Structure 1
Amino acid sequence: MRDHARYLVDHYDALARTGGESLPARLRAAFLSAGRDPDRLTLDDIAGIDQLHLGGRRASRSLAVLGRLKPGSRVLDLGCGTGGASRLLAAEYGAEVTGVDITAAFIEVAAWLSQATGMADRTRFLCADAAALPLQEASFDVVWCQHALMNMPDLAAVLTEWRRLLVPDGKLLLHEVVAGDNPAALALPVPWARTSGASHLRSRQAFGAVLAEGGFVPVAVRDVTEAALAWRQKHGRREAGEPSGEAPLPGPALIFGDDFAHMGHNLRDNLADGRVRILEGVWRLA
């Protein structure tokens, strides 16, 4: 396994790496503690671990609308995590979704949650590297990616693979973190990296240039940083709230560990002072 791939597995499944229970075991136990049957769940039950990106389900819906996603679209969800966007696109937009992630624990959880929420017949999941996918060429109408490209050091290789997989009039829908205009070093850790060497942020200009070199033409691109910051501030306040006395539904801390709160605070600060920005956009094949 390449160094960056090994890092991603260790980062996103850190608690298991340090000798704790596996991610599926931790999550199943947490659902039981919260009074939920882990094999019969609703999309609301799993919202806290469903979409591990800024904006949650609202951001995914916004991107789907911007991309004019049609029923029956064959969507490749890259960096799918626990499969939240895959399930949302299938349930609300009638898409046929294949989710891919390099972290095996995420894929195991994604398949389980789709089964538990009755979505197994409309989603499938695969553990693989985004730059080398065992999938047939020209088999997707849309490549979908949210908060994953900053974990991919060789974006050019990834885009080459995506071109292979898209049909000739295919689209690329992205909701991504880019470097801001403030040159100060990132406050670390953040949800995608614990060290600076593991974060592969590009400026908006460099990001656009590599997409153009990869054969993708922008259709609609907008900066949604302010909305992302407001969402992070709201969720930060919620995470810091007083305990209710009841066992909570599973949240990101069960995935990232006890330092998730620190990651969230740093992400808020990085957004607030312009060290990172959030872009939402649609590109098409040239």
Structure 2
Amino acid sequence: MAHGDYGGDGGIERPRARVSTDAGRLARHYTGAGDAEGASGEALVERLRRAFIDSGRNPDRLALDDIAGIDQLHLGGRRASRSLARLGEFSPGVRVLDVGCGTGGASRLLAEEYDAKVIGIDITASFVEIAGWLSRATGLATRTRFCCADAARAPLPEACVDVVWCQHALMNMPDTTAVLAEWRRLLAPGGSVLLHEVVAGDNPAALTLPVPWARERATSHLQTRSALEQKLQTAGFRPCKIADVTAEALAWRRKHARREPQHQATPALPGPASLFGDGFSEMGRNLLDNLADDRVRIIEGAWSRP
């Protein structure tokens, strides 16, 4: 990919870097492979397309509101992404790398609302395929591009982006040091890191599992806020603004827990359970408990690359 080439059809950019062995475990988690439906062998994208059809939508022509349930898989949803974007003070045409982009919701929001040129990378191939499809279906394919790759070995040239964006992804990455070194390589001088992340809380009790990012401890790599800040500093990033937003995240999770229906009389639009399987309700309850018990916390911040 040429320097600054972020145009395209919203499809998959095939990786030119080796993907780590964690990919299989993460793919099984994020595609609901722990449930009977996920284990059936049906492609996740086809499962979602069928769900949109059942709800009366054309899966190739979707509104952003139609895909809200599978768009941004992090606490706070679009509100959290907009809050993080305000720290970036984006200018039109800013080049953004969305690390751990999932289904591409933040990438599309930045392209649509901030006129950013975004490339998203994720280690889960099914999510990359979904991200490309949803960008095409919502008319945002020319401003977003997606690549299946390991965040520690991105197939991109150095100094090719102005912003590294990451929401709720580092807790799935076993080698944070390597990832941060890659971010420094990819960022142009004067660029910034915008991070919205789950970190370990002050309560030393074991994490209640499963949670949305892990069914087992092998795929959860939580670290304390202080440890993460130290790694960012060692990697050469200077803190600009950091805030603990746990209270806001907890309020958001409680609000959505009350809204989540137990049964639907008619076919509903796809939501997180369509991705994670029937176990998502338990994941949501456990996340709420972990937040309330201070086993995990949520931070939001901006760092600069001098």
TM-score range, shorter chain: over 0.9
Of the three residues 43, 55, 68, the one matched with 1:47 is: 68
**Deviation readout 1:51-77 (Å, 9 max, x if unpaired):** 000000000000001221222100000
Q: Does 1:229 align with 2:250?
A: yes
Post-superposition shift, 1:18? Answer: 1.4
Structure 2 length as normaliser, TM-score? 0.91
Post-superposition shift, 1:252? Answer: 0.5
Q: Does 1:278 align with 2:298?
A: yes
**Deviation readout 1:85-136 (Å, 9 max, x if unpaired):** 0000000001000010011100110000000000000100000000001101
How far apart in 2 are the matches of 1:20 and 1:235? 30
Q: Does 1:142 align with 2:160?
A: no
In structure 2, the residue matched to 1:11 is 29
Letter in 2 for 1:102: I
Q: Does 1:29 align with 2:47?
A: no
Report if the CA contact (8 A) 2:90-2:114 is conserved.
Answer: yes
In structure 2, the residue matched to 1:159 is 180
Post-superposition shift, 1:236? Answer: 1.0
**Deviation readout 1:209-238 (Å, 9 max, x if unpaired):** 111111111100001001101111111111
In structure 2, the residue matched to 1:180 is 201
Post-superposition shift, 1:195? Answer: 1.2
Of the three residues 148, 171, 194, the one matched with 1:127 is: 148
Instruction: Determine helix, strand or coil for the equivalent of 1:97.
Output: strand
How far apart in 1 are the matches of 2:91 and 2:285? 37
Instruction: Determine helix, strand or coil for the equivalent of 1:18.
Output: helix
1:46-65 correspondence runs (5 A)? 46-65=67-86
Letter in 1 for 2:30: Y
In structure 1, the residue matched to 2:232 is 211
Deviating more after overlay: 22-31 vs 64-73: 64-73
Instruction: Determine helix, strand or coil for the equivalent of 1:42.
Output: coil
Report if the CA contact (8 A) 2:38-2:277 is conserved.
Answer: no
How far apart in 2 are the matches of 1:257 and 1:10? 11
Instruction: Determine helix, strand or coil for the equivalent of 2:199.
Output: strand
Q: List alignment gaps of at least 5 residues for structure 2.
A: 1-18
Post-superposition shift, 1:17? Answer: 5.6
Report if the CA contact (8 A) 2:162-2:188 is conserved.
Answer: yes
Of the three residues 70, 74, 78, the one matched with 2:95 is: 74
**Deviation readout 1:129-158 (Å, 9 max, x if unpaired):** 000011011110000000000001101101
Letter in 2 for 1:177: V
How far apart in 1 are the matches of 2:230 and 2:299? 14
Deviating more after overlay: 249-258 vs 66-75: 66-75
How far apart in 1 are the matches of 2:142 and 2:25? 32
Computed over aligned residues only, the root mean square deviation of the Cα atoms, in angstroms, reads 1.2
How far apart in 2 are the matches of 1:240 and 1:132? 40
Paired residues, what number? 285
Post-superposition shift, 1:242? Answer: 5.3
Structure 1 length as normaliser, TM-score? 0.97
Instruction: Determine helix, strand or coil for the equivalent of 1:144.
Output: strand
Instruction: Determine helix, strand or coil for the equivalent of 1:60.
Output: helix
Percent of pairs with identical residues: 65
How far apart in 1 are the matches of 2:28 and 2:115? 34
Report if the CA contact (8 A) 2:213-2:220 is conserved.
Answer: yes
Of the three residues 269, 273, 285, the one matched with 2:289 is: 269
Instruction: Determine helix, strand or coil for the equivalent of 2:51.
Output: helix
Letter in 2 for 1:190: V
Report if the CA contact (8 A) 2:20-2:150 is conserved.
Answer: no
Deviating more after overlay: 134-143 vs 232-241: 232-241
How far apart in 2 are the matches of 1:2 and 1:142? 24
Post-superposition shift, 1:197? Answer: 2.5
Q: List alignment gaps of at least 5 residues for structure 1.
A: none
How far apart in 1 are the matches of 2:91 and 2:251? 29
Deviating more after overlay: 199-208 vs 14-23: 14-23
